[in-house]
Amino acid sequence: MRKAIFFAASLFLGLAATAQELPIPRESPGATVRQSIGISSLEIAYHRPAVKGRTVWGGLVPYGQVWRLGANDATTLEISDPMKIAGRDVPAGKYGLFAIPGPESWTLILNKRAQQWGAYFYKTEEDFLRFEVKPEAGPFTEWMTFDIYPEDRDRVRIGFAWEKLRFSFPVEADVDKIVWSRYDAALADPKAGWDTYLAVAQYALQREQRLDEAMVWIDKSISLQESFWNYETKARLLHKAGRTKEALPLVEKALTLSRGKAPKGYQDGLEQTIKEWRGGIDG
């Protein structure tokens, strides 16, 4: 049996150079599913086998053996930033995603060697993480499928379905931490432009974080180039700080600068803001 596996693998490797120039159609087509989490990305690449009337669990896919979680190349899971997978910290990178199916529970494996043909060259010592999932019965699915479902701003759930079985597991990212790390690096660049300072100040305002620093950033943006965007943002920062009287002239200037440059709906919104803020002061 091992000789047959070795021969098949050797034949595949020997044909690799030719296959790069002459693609070969696969019975189990390749697929990719990708999802953003904040400014980060999560991607699963796999090949989709079909049931074709076969006994899958305990038959085509034996229990107790490492499986590539698909067909052809091993399935891969790639994250652009550090995340938690099934509650465990995982560095950014690309991993092989394997499984050891069982009748009651499965072991899922993140392996540090992403590019593998099947599980023929899989090595336990290259595992980064193992965790358990409980499969459940579900509607019949002819072609094996991965999906990624957003659950909230920082969390998604990866779902797997094939034949009459399905399971899922969570992936989480600390969105604010990742964003601020990226933004702080951008601000440290001496070539950072007015729009960079504006974008970071707007994020601080949106998240109600680092608001004192946001005032410094928006002043820097205005000093580099005046625009209705940065005057409006500074006005809203002042209003948030309870300094509406100081904010009013700035939002009025934003309205003036927006004439002929922004849609009427934007200007209508600024006019409504001015009306509400004046009413609050007069009241």
- DSSP line for 138-164: EEEEEEEEEEEEEEETTEEEEEEEEEE
pLDDT at 119: 80
Strands, sheet with 155-172, edge to edge from the N-terminal-most edge strand: 88-90, 83-85, 155-172, 136-152
| pLDDT score, position 20 | 58
Task: Give the E-state strand segments of the chain in sequence order.
Answer: 30-37, 40-47, 76-79, 83-85, 88-90, 93-100, 106-111, 127-133, 136-152, 155-172
pLDDT tens-digit map of 227-278: 999 999 999 999 999 999 999 999 999 999 999 999 999 999 999 999 999 9
pLDDT at position 24, please? 80
Q: What pLDDT was estimated at residue 22?
A: 81
Please tell me the predicted confidence (pLDDT) of residue 31.
96
Strand partners, 99: 67, 108
Q: Choose among 134, 39, 47: nearest CA to 81.
A: 39
Q: Which residues of the chain have pLDDT under 70?
A: 1-20, 282-283
Per-residue confidence (pLDDT) for residue 120, from 0 to 100: 87
Tell me, what's the pLDDT at 282?
A: 64
pLDDT on residue 283? 54
Residue 181 CA to residue 135 CA, distance in Å, equals: 37
According to CATH, the topology of domain 176-282 is 1.25.40
Bridge partners (DSSP) of residue 95 are 77
Cβ-contact 33, 146 below 8 angstroms: yes
Q: In the chain, where does the domain assigned CATH 1.25.40.10 lie? A: 176-282
